[in-house]
Amino acid sequence: MTREVSVEWRPGQSVTGRLAGPDEVRLPTVLLAHGAGAGQDHPGVAGLRERLAGAGAGVRVLTFNYPYMEAGRRSPDRQATLLDCHRAVLGWLRAEVGNEVILAGRSMGGRMGTHLAAGGEPVRGLVLYAYPLHPAGKPDGLRIEHLSDVTVPMLFISGTRDSLARVELIEEHLRPLPGSTIELIDGADHSFRVPKRTGRTFEEVLDWIAARTVVWMEGLGV
């Protein structure tokens, strides 16, 4: 079951969210943020939301739009605005569900989650789908400085063909982080699309990602 919600993130300004999953859960609720180029109804985000909510564990999941996406703009808001919105949605979710929250996100949305956690927001863990470790074609522009301030477990799921996260840099900078778990999807790009030669479809890749996320959550001992 999925219901649409409205979250006021600034006085007089609201964003739309979709809350999916059962009312009774044993695992933390997942707040899943979208990437820079598409909102919460993008097949990759909506597909993960519905798979997590329908998984055997029955995870409760909330997705939402950042303000620029809600307004129909293409260019992302400034980071401070993204974080203000993300933080407000997190506060709304805590008040709504009353249990622990895991911050998850695709690309930019995951990066915003890491900043919230590094800044002290009390969350149970982080799930980073296609974390944008560096801009495309700029492997020297690493986005890692704040990650050392994250004190909760982190699950990174990336494709081996991701142009925003070269595998050797993942191994060098993300795997050594305390509490990090790295999962690499052979042949997948930044959108988790895989070549036909892999014998897997995009839908099957999403199935695996959702299942792996639930297994990781269960391993947190909550």
pLDDT for 176-218, tens place per residue?
999 999 999 999 999 999 999 989 999 999 999 999 999 999 9
Query: What pTM value is reported for the model?
Result: 0.96
pLDDT at 56: 65
How far apart are the C-alpha atoms of 13 and 24, rounded to whole Å? Answer: 30
pLDDT in tens, 116-149: 999 999 999 999 999 999 999 999 999 999 999 9
222 band by pLDDT with thresholds 50, 70 and 90: low
Q: What is the mean pLDDT of the chain?
A: 95
Alpha carbons 180 and 219: distance in angstroms, whole number: 13
Q: What is the pLDDT of residues 46-69, one digit of tens each?
A: 999 999 998 666 799 999 999 999
Q: Read off the pLDDT band of 98 (50, 70, 90).
A: confident
Q: What is the pLDDT of residues 18-34, one digit of tens each?
A: 999 988 888 999 999 99
Q: What is the pLDDT of residue 57?
A: 61
The answer to whether 183 and 127 have CB atoms below 8 angstroms apart is: no
Q: How many CB atoms lie within 10 A of CB 99?
A: 15
Taken as a whole, the chain contains a residue count of 222
Residue 33: what pLDDT? 98
H-helix or E-strand containing 156? strand 154-159
Helix (H) or strand (E) holding 94: helix 79-97
* Token code pair at residue 63: 């997705």
- Which class does domain 2-218 fall in? alpha beta
Closest listed residue to residue 200, CA positions, set 185, 211, 190, 184: 185
